[in-house]
Amino acid sequence: MGLLKNISSPADLKALPPEQVDDLAQEIRDFLVDSVSRTGGHLGPNLGVVELTLALHRVFESPQDTLVFDTGHQSYVHKLLTGRHDFSKLKKQGGLSGYPSRAESEHDVVENSHASTSLSWAEGIAKARRLAGQRDRHTVAVIGDGALTGGMAWEAINNIAVDKDLPLVIVVNDNERSYAPTVGGLADHLATLRTTRTYERVLDWGKSALHRTPVVGNAMYETLHGVKKGMKDIVAPQGMFEDLGIKYLGPVDGHDVLAMEAALTRARAFGGPVIVHVLTQKGRGYEPASSDEADQWHGIGKFNPETGLPFEVSGRIWTDEFNDEMVRIGAEREDVVAITAAMMIPVGLDGFAKAYPDRIFDVGIAEQHAVTMASGLAFGGLHPVVAVYATFLNRAFDQLLMDCALHHQGVTFVLDRAGVTGSDGASHNGMWDMTICSIVPGLHLAAPRDGEQVKAQLREALDVDDAPTVIRFPKGDVAEPIAAVRRVGSVDVIHDCEQDPDVLLVGVGAMCPTALGVAEKLEAQGHSVMVVDPRWVLPVSDDLIGLARRAGTVAVIEDNLVSGGVGASVTAALRAADVAQPVHCYGIPKEFLDHASRGQVLEQIGLTSDSVASSLISRLHPHR
């Protein structure tokens, strides 16, 4: 690092001569490609906001002024400019978070990394500052065009628009993508606004003529400026924003630092809410990340920076099992349709979309709308499959409860990245879904233990037409198939014993291998053990209750909150059936978990075979 090594704060950046800023931008891009190639991370989004972030920190005074990044996966440049240069353990235990982190820096504010929240945060911060009399402090929200497809963003805009003197700058980072190309009416409107670049270039030509021949140039510039205003009204009406009462500036070339600084300076001085429409290119400056395969570079593993090829070719993942089975089901059942919230490829619906393009709906980052729309599709005689990350089901709980379950609609929810995901930190662990689903009347939830069960239980879910069904599975390579020794009703026995067991171990989904490891250790201590996979874990089946009645003690192992999870439901079901056996619950504690690998997190919270076995042995023999 040449210039970058001397940038430890925004003050250092402001002191940099303007003619060196472009060189710094190139250094940052080189640094990002080199660093992320070693660790993996969100490369494409950060390459796209280098100049934008430079301009933000040259115009505003962070942390006196507050910068709020929507989702935060584009904050790597911000981290560098605020003195965090050690990316060697990015997203790893003890290293930098992949998102803003208050623990890392006073320059970081919002770290939840769920989209479409920045405008609400920013409005609240700006109003709090105004009430405190801090009128010299500005608030800036940086939100992508993809995140503007989320309804919460428009709820905020609706309120911001009526507050005419609120010192709030909204930077719309328009790169036409979230994970994938942005869809919907807003995307079409922003595409129209982009046509203003044509007459902006003409206006720039008039400005240059003004310097060459002042008299002629001045007349030409004024004429062109008038033409510009007329064209803007006809070709690219920004009325959607300005009719709401929010000043609109742009579009501005997001890779021209001087142009960005000029626009942001104007916005800062305005004194009321301003939208600065910035055009950027995701993956800018690194050909593989800005090519037709750019979506694959949103989040990337370790790769060769020279070729752009991954160092490690991953094996078959859980998502692949769902993807392939959906294509097969689609050929058999014309009533099956699919819905994604701007994550077609990550949740494994790209195969279905390619095979049945008329039966897939990408609603943008709008999980609430997705669930209620699915309820309508079900009412219309179809069976929708809503595929989202488990952590994002939280955002549509009311719709799941009141629109889907209350109306007995047959909708299947497929939750990818369930349980501990690890490296993306607290907000991305899918640890809440079984707890929130446990209170939904009539809901059926399955946790497949391997790829074969993903396929089988998906088909079982699609046969339910009068209630919501949920299939949840983790991130990463799919587990090796675990054959059932026998089936008792709906419950698979995956490890048996000759007599009634001392311990009945209930493995939930991906925790079945852990349960088998616990069984081996307990048997070494002389205990008889049966391990079962309930398959459909909610509601608790009579078959599982019957098996528990014959056991000396019951233990439930799940990668979900231990509070209100499957273990809690099993405990309640046994008590209701007058089964007195003690139940020991092992799951995720009710706390936010720092970023680390999945294995490290499981070790830390005691969800390993060794830890669970030790705990159970101490409970079975409290006086040893």
| 427-475 pLDDT, tens digit each | 888 899 999 999 999 999 999 999 999 999 999 999 999 999 999 999 9
179 is in an annotated binding site: no
Residues 38 and 168 in one domain: yes
113 is in an annotated binding site: yes
Q: Dump strand ranges (E) for 190-289.
A: 247-253, 274-279
The whole-number average pLDDT for the span 76-89 is 92
Confidence of residue 342 (pLDDT cuts 50, 70, 90): confident
Residues 277 and 342 in one domain: no
* Residue 49, CB-side half-sphere exposure with 13 Å CA sphere: 29
216 versus 365: the higher-pLDDT residue is 365
Q: Is residue 123 flagged as an active site residue?
A: no
Is 257:21 a contact under the CB 8 Å cutoff?
Answer: yes
209 within domain boundaries: no
202 within domain boundaries: no
pLDDT over threshold 90, residue 22 = yes
Q: List the one residue out of 432, 431, 426 whose CA is nearest residue 595.
A: 426
Q: Is residue 282 flagged as an active site residue?
A: yes
Residues 339 and 284 in one domain: no
Among 176, 367, 460, 558, the active-site one is 367
Residues 355 and 243 in one domain: no
Of 472, 504, 524, the last residue of a domain is 472
β 168-174/274-279 pair status: parallel
369 is in an annotated binding site: no
Which pLDDT score, from 0 to 100, does residue 308 have?
67
Strand partners, 125: none
Residues 274 and 336 in one domain: no
pLDDT over threshold 90, residue 561 = yes
Q: Is residue 395 flagged as an active site residue?
A: yes
532 within domain boundaries: yes
The CATH number given to whatever domain includes residue 611 is 3.40.50.920
264 within domain boundaries: yes
Which pLDDT score, from 0 to 100, does residue 266 have?
94
Residues 437 and 293 in one domain: no
Of 297, 330, 348, the last residue of a domain is 297
3 versus 290: the higher-pLDDT residue is 3
199 versus 182: the higher-pLDDT residue is 182
189 is in an annotated binding site: no
Q: What is the pLDDT of residues 37-53, one digit of tens each?
A: 888 888 888 899 999 99
Which pLDDT score, from 0 to 100, does residue 188 have?
59
Which pLDDT score, from 0 to 100, does residue 228 have?
45
342 is in an annotated binding site: no
pLDDT over threshold 70, residue 236 = no
299 versus 258: the higher-pLDDT residue is 258
Residues 431 and 538 in one domain: no
Of 472, 507, 526, the last residue of a domain is 472
Residues 364 and 501 in one domain: no
DSSP for residue 358: G
218 within domain boundaries: no
pLDDT over threshold 80, residue 296 = no
Confidence of residue 91 (pLDDT cuts 50, 70, 90): confident
Which pLDDT score, from 0 to 100, does residue 34 have?
87
pLDDT over threshold 50, residue 246 = yes
61 is in an annotated binding site: no
Which pLDDT score, from 0 to 100, does residue 112 have?
75
368 versus 311: the higher-pLDDT residue is 368
The CATH number given to whatever domain includes residue 426 is 3.40.50.970
The whole-number average pLDDT for the span 600-617 is 94
Residues 608 and 500 in one domain: yes
216 within domain boundaries: no
55 is in an annotated binding site: no
**Minimum mean pLDDT range among 58-67, 288-297, 570-579:** 288-297
pLDDT over threshold 60, residue 254 = yes
Look at the pTM and tell me if it is higher than 0.75: yes
| Residue 109: CB atoms within 10 Å | 20
Tokens of 68: 């709020």
pLDDT over threshold 80, residue 237 = no
Number of domain units in the chain: 3
480 within domain boundaries: no
Residues 325 and 378 in one domain: yes
- Residue 96, domain extent: 4-194+236-297
18 within domain boundaries: yes
> What share of the chain in percent tops pLDDT 70?
86
Among 282, 455, 475, 535, the active-site one is 282
Dihedral-angle region of residue 93 (phi above 0 means left; psi in -120 to 50 means alpha; beta otherwise): beta
**Minimum mean pLDDT range among 157-161, 408-412, 467-471:** 157-161
pLDDT over threshold 60, residue 482 = yes
DSSP characters over 270-331: H-S-EEEEEE--TTTT-GGGGSTTGGGGSSB-SB-TTT--BSS----BHHHHHHHHHHHHHH
367 is in an annotated binding site: yes
How does the average pLDDT of the chain come out, rounded?
Answer: 87
Residues 582 and 453 in one domain: no
Residues 463 and 518 in one domain: no
Among 92, 395, 449, 455, the active-site one is 395
Helices and strands (H, E) in the chain, number of each type:
24, 18
